[in-house]
Structure 1
């Protein structure tokens, strides 16, 4: 556990300990590190998709084989997120994030030693195992520094790190691949991951909004623990998982197949395709930043969490799903690109909101574990979508028809998941049933 001191508890008028003091400077330093952590995370994750064509050409592999390689990233992704989540209350976030990012760098090495399918699979499996807990555990680390009512912007920035990762990775990694070969991109990302680990070890800290003293917990946050069965069967958690599942399907397609679709079906050059990917990522980031202050303001003013964070996440996934269903049939390229941007960017709103939703119905001591469970189930599309798309591409009459089928499947999944999210998320009702008032 980290030995660094946390900000002291503030005493109220009676001399009893109140909520911990908000350390703005330290909180935002940690936020900056975690945003950088997410940028590296998504750059590592997207490198294979950006290098798809040269990798398939050099190794002489089919779309189905590439799809399986891409999906291998998710073999241990969900399981590791689930397992690590249960250790979050016992192990410092400083240590967890340090080890994760260290392994990311190591995971890029097998393909540099032996450029073959087994090495690619081994590296992606190891990378997925180390990145599975990344989003929930970094969000948990962030929430240790921000009380309720201040979490909207840092949550959006944390998830925005994913968009920034794509925004930065698409042009830079594409430049490395075209100028120096695809192996150069793997080397650069390995070095970057190791460098972040070193810096985090010296500046990372655990915040005070995690496990308050027993007396404060008893008076302000209800029961110390709630059976996980009750938490997982609450409508709010089910709706939260549904929105993450639908959004993750679009994200998995974006990372594994969208670069290839832009280059092969829309006949874009690698540089133009990278620019489109960066534009989609930029839209995601703008949407996240625009939403976060609104959410915080509405929450502090007393608007129900169902209306401020529940309905918007489901509606965003449904909107993106509708665009996903339509864009393959649109003729004019500018309109198609606009719809592609909606399909692959608007769903990102769901990611920070679904963590805020889940946090509203769980005691602080169980938050890391619940985040791990929610992430593990919500990110299963990373295992399903890439390989299914590869099979559809190989079995369809043409690659264009295969892409159209895969986008139709994604649209159906997203619209259904978004509708479930809108209907099920009711944080106030479920928190009352569970006897929780989260601070």
Structure 2
């Protein structure tokens, strides 16, 4: 008899890498503005609040396709949905290099957000068709590891490109890879094991059987449908946690290169890019460790709340230290804290919601929660203009992370048979 430990697991080497590279390119096109903005001032001067707006308006557009794309992925095809969005966002990313005014930059970033917005929930739906709950946090984290990996690889690359090319060319050049990778995605990805030629019968039977068990163990959706899902208190709490956490996450991410540039004075863009990669390297290790521990213990609440507390400590301590190795070490602590919750957080909705309604729930969580991606960068920029220092902005980010950690720990207690302890039991069965 084939056990779970001996079942072939080609899904880990087919689905995860292709999806990770795809989203790495999306994250590059989303976050390259953080590296490029400090070097636009000579021919495209922007105030601190304008820079925050340029980084944050992406997330206003980001919310529009969240639920529609999630529903399309669940009812039609995650593979086809992501393919179409890849083409659209690649073209929108290239358009950022063609802008001639501050308003045009805002519009280009907004449109980029619209097309990228549907990718995240569509891929989460895809992973939910390939990885049972007992593997979900690790699968999520391995895919989401593309976020810090993208920054580790692309921050130095963007810095090097800025030393040799103008910022417009960098925007255009970095919008091309998604158009190429869309071809790989089309031929490599299948929506579910039954549609993939490379899956063995044993692996197909194992995955489909485990997913059926997961669904059977969840509370029945009954006649609730989407309306009750949107009114569900746990879904609303997940939205609140995600908003607070993402406010801190993107507020830190957008302004990290600017902090490092101010630390290094006259350093080249390449040097700033390499130094920016250091905190993201620490963040990658923290993400993978926290996800594996979360799957092993089943304690999703702690895996979401504790890293945010660590990030708060780093942000507040950073206000007392300026420059040198100590400040870089604290930036690494904050990066680890804001990245580590990703895998465990996105395993939470699947613990309590059935597949037929999870698409809408994940879309809602990502759409409303990611408005924090507007709040964080803009808040730091506005407070920087107001006070002349980034310190007040980072203290404000710490406050949002504190709220997210508190709600995670005190309000998101397991309330179903597939709660934290049940996941832990599955892992030891």
C-alpha distance in 2 between matches for 1:332 and 1:114: 35
Q: Residues 67 and 56 of structure 1: is their aligned pair in 2 closer, same or farther, counting only changes over 3 Å? A: farther
How many residues are matched? 407
Deviation (angstroms), 1:219: 5.2
SS in 1 for 2:174: helix
More helix per residue: 1 or 2? 2
Distance 1:101 1:60 in 2: 30
* Partner Cα distance (1:297, 1:48) in 2: 37
CA contact (8 A) 2:307 2:336 kept: no
- Tell me, in whole angstroms, the C-alpha distance in 2 between the residues paired with 1:218 and 1:241: 23
Kept in 1, the 8 Å contact 2:121–2:359? The answer is yes
Q: How many Å apart are 1:343 and its aligned residue?
A: 1.4
- Report SS of the residue matched to 1:58: coil
SS of the counterpart of 1:152? helix
Aligned residue number for residue 161 of structure 1: 146
RMSD between superposed Cα atoms in Å = 3.1
Superimposed CA distance per residue, residues 354-386 of structure 1 (whole angstroms, 9 cap, x where no aligned partner): 110111010012222211111112211111122
For residue 409 of structure 2, what is the aligned residue in structure 1? 422
Alignment of 1:86-101 (within 5 A): 86-101=71-86
1:335-414 residue pairs with structure 2 within 5 A? 335-396=326-387, 398=388, 400=389, 403-414=390-401
- Going from structure 1 to structure 2, the CA distance change for 1:111 and 1:161 (only over 3 Å counts) comes to closer
Return the alpha-carbon distance in structure 2 between the equivalents of residues 98 and 291 of structure 1.
30
Superposition pairs for residues 20-419 of structure 1, below 5 Å? 24-208=9-193, 220-224=217-221, 226-228=224-226, 230-232=228-230, 234=232, 236-264=234-262, 267=265, 269=267, 270-298=269-297, 305=298, 308-331=299-322, 333-396=324-387, 398=388, 400=389, 403-419=390-406
**1:207 positional shift:** 1.6
Which stretch shows the higher mean deviation, 423-432 or 320-329?
423-432
Q: CA deviation at 1:286?
A: 0.7
Contiguous gaps of at least 5 residues in structure 1: 1-9, 11-18, 299-304, 433-438
Q: Secondary structure at the match of 1:390?
A: helix
Instruction: Report the CA distance between 1:289 and its aligned residue.
Output: 1.8
Which runs of 5 or more structure 2 residues have no equivalent in the other structure? 194-203, 420-425
| Residues 181-226 of structure 1: CA deviation (Å, up to 9, x unaligned) | 21232222211110111110111101259999xx989855442554
Task: Tell me by how many angstroms 1:248 deviates.
Answer: 1.2
Closer/same/farther in 2, CA of residues 107 and 391 from structure 1, 3 Å limit: same
TM-score of the pair, normalised by structure 1: 0.84
Shift in alpha-carbon separation, 1:111–1:131, aligned structure 2, 3 A: closer
Is this contact kept in 2: 1:81–1:376, CA < 8 A?
A: yes
Q: Report the TM-score when normalising by structure 2.
A: 0.86
Q: In terms of mean alpha carbon deviation, does 234-243 or 136-145 score higher?
A: 234-243
The answer on whether the counterparts of 1:240 and 1:355 sit within 8 Å (CA) in structure 2 is no
SS where residue 133 of structure 2 aligns?
coil
Whether the 8 Å CA contact 1:262–1:273 is kept in 2: the answer is yes
**Partner residue, 2:422:** none
> In the aligned structure 2, how far is the partner of 1:134 from the partner of 1:201?
14
| Whole-angstrom CA distance in 2 between matches of 1:268 and 1:78 | 38
